[in-house]
């Protein structure tokens, strides 16, 4: 199978953003005299966008303090989180090994690259800028780009229409069951990364076409000498 388009999730797939997200989130909570959330707790809940993460964090923190969940002033929390994330983004987060090289080699093979994230555009742009990934994608689809986000198939279908690529020639690379469900709903192949936030049993149960331990496997482990100048040959293979 020759894939002409590869779509990448961002958080937990290309960049380990959890430390910076946790820092910004906990600044919001601590300024309101609420307990901080452990980074592992935050890491396990990344993937649905900042509003949902803030709502979950507020609910958990207020329950810890009073035993009851207090109504969340979400608009204020999102605004405050945004200010702190500007300061925290890129401080402790790191791009995953192999990500930069994988993107560069795919681009040299003339494969179209799309970013597919549920992160709001302003926050996604912060991450791309902080880690030197700005301009690496032919198309960026964020959580607030379209009327629906992952796991709805709309973002993938938008990318397919944008590039004029059939579903059989597209691959989604992500770290969670959300990514797998998105790819399945859109009828494209899905590879899961074993190191991400949604990895482990949940990813296994979701049933991606393949699970890889590094993005290097997207480039080095999947090249074929038959690849044309306009597509990358990725061998169809069962999950590891």
* Three-class DSSP category at 49: coil
Q: Spell out the residues 6+ positions from residue 161 whose beta carbon is closer than 8 angstroms to its own.
A: none
Say whether pTM exceeds 0.85: yes
Dist CA 148 CA 13 (whole Å): 21
Check if CATH label 3.40.718.10 holds for domain 2-16+94-233. no
- Write down the CATH number for the domain with range 18-88: 1.10.150.240
CA atoms within 13 A on the CB side of 193: 25
Which residue's structure tokens are 């690849």?
Answer: 227
12's torsion region: left (phi>0), alpha (psi -120 to 50) or beta?
Answer: left
In the chain, ranges of CATH 3.40.50.1000 domains = 2-16+94-233
Task: Report pLDDT digits (tens) over 175-230.
Answer: 999 999 999 999 999 999 999 998 888 899 999 999 999 998 887 544 443 444 44
| Cβ–Cβ < 8 Å for 234, 2 | yes
pLDDT digits (tens, 9 = 90+) for 16-55: 999 999 999 999 999 999 999 999 999 999 988 899 999 9
Are 10 and 119 in contact, with CB atoms under 8 Å apart? yes
Catalytic residues: 9
């Amino acid at each position: 199978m020759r894939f002409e388009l590869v779509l990448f999730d961002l958080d937990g797939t290309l960049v380990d953003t959890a430390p910076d997200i946790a820092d910004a989130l906990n600044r919001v909570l601590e300024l309101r005299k609420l307990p901080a959330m452990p980074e592992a707790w935050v890491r396990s809940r990344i993937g649905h966008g900042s509003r949902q993460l803030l709502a979950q964090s507020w609910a958990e923190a207020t329950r810890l303090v009073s035993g009851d969940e207090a109504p969340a002033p979400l608009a204020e929390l999102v605004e405050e989180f945004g200010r702190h994330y500007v300061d925290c983004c890129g401080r402790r987060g790191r791009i995953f090994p192999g990500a930069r090289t994988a993107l560069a080699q795919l681009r040299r093979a003339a494969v179209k690259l799309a970013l597919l994230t549920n992160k709001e555009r302003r926050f996604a742009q912060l991450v791309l800028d902080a880690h030197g990934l700005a301009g690496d994608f032919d198309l960026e689809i964020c959580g607030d780009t379209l009327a629906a986000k992952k796991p709805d198939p709309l973002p993938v279908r938008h990318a397919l229409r944008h590039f004029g690529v059939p579903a059989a020639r597209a691959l989604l690379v992500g770290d969670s069951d959300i990514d797998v469900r998105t790819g399945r709903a859109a009828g494209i192949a899905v590879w899961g990364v074993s190191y991400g936030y949604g990895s482990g049993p949940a990813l296994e149960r979701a049933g991606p076409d393949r699970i890889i331990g590094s993005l290097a496997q997207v480039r080095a482990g999947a090249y074929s000498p038959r690849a044309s100048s306009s597509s990358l040959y990725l061998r169809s293979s069962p999950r590891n």
